[in-house]
Amino acid sequence: MIPGTDGLGEQAINKIAELALSAQIDEAERLEVQVKTDPGRLAQGELESLTIHGEGLAMRQSLRMQEMKIHIMSIAVSPLKALMGNIELTQPAEGTARIVLIEGDINRAFNSEMLSNQMQDLGVEVDGKPVTIDTQQVNCHFLADGKVALDAKILLREVNEIRDVSFTTTPRISADGRGVLLEDVQYAAGKELSPKLTKALMDKASRVLNLSNFEMEGITLRIQQLEVEAGRLTLQAIADVTQFPSM
């Protein structure tokens, strides 16, 4: 807390903001909001900066972020409401965001009931014959060379046979910056099954990696950069803020 700032300033805003954010998140191992201001700026309706830092944030659709950090500078707010600990923006603000996703969390999302149901009863062609397949398990791997690998176990209903599908892809930022697309498929030897199945798996990955899954009320993200390392994906983004989450 900045010396001289009264208790209805930073401390109150921090606490109210944390409660408002918590209401939108299913679970958090750590969630902190840090506001920097002083009485003079607050009286004029300005916050110097606002930082949201969370770890182990469980979002809707069984999605979890290993880490999220949003930093916003020079925020115009309603001074009277800010003094009561309520952040109400009087004009949009822009900041930066960093999101870290680890493959274990992505795999839980892939294999959640909601997404798994979308990968059942698919009609495809295998070995020149029409078959119906069910996807039993999907695993995503973030590789040290910057690629993303997908492995899947597929049940061919007609012959009650399990097949393995395995391929690597190159992640790209979508044209609108709202998500991550997988391109340039390279199959492991003997692990190609069906182009339609491959497309379904890649579409599923794109749905999981759409930024709308990780956003909160009034905050939208646009990816500027992505980095794939062994076991994790890091996204650097612009955060457009039109309102702060309310209780």
pLDDT tens for the 247 residues of the chain, in order: 333 344 455 777 787 778 878 877 888 899 998 888 887 888 888 888 989 999 998 876 568 899 999 999 989 999 888 777 678 899 999 999 999 999 999 998 888 766 667 778 888 887 778 888 888 888 999 999 999 999 989 888 888 889 888 999 999 999 999 999 999 999 888 778 788 888 888 888 888 888 888 888 888 999 999 999 999 999 999 999 998 876 5
Report angle CA 31, 32, 34 to the nearest 5 degrees.
160
Instruction: Enter the pTM of the model.
Output: 0.85
Per DSSP, the three-state class of 54 is strand
* Cα dihedral 14, 16, 17, 23 sign: positive
Spatial distance between the Cα atoms of 4 and 39, rounded to a whole number of angstroms? 8
CB 189 within 8 A of CB 165: no
Backbone angles phi, psi at 87, to 5 degrees: -90, 110
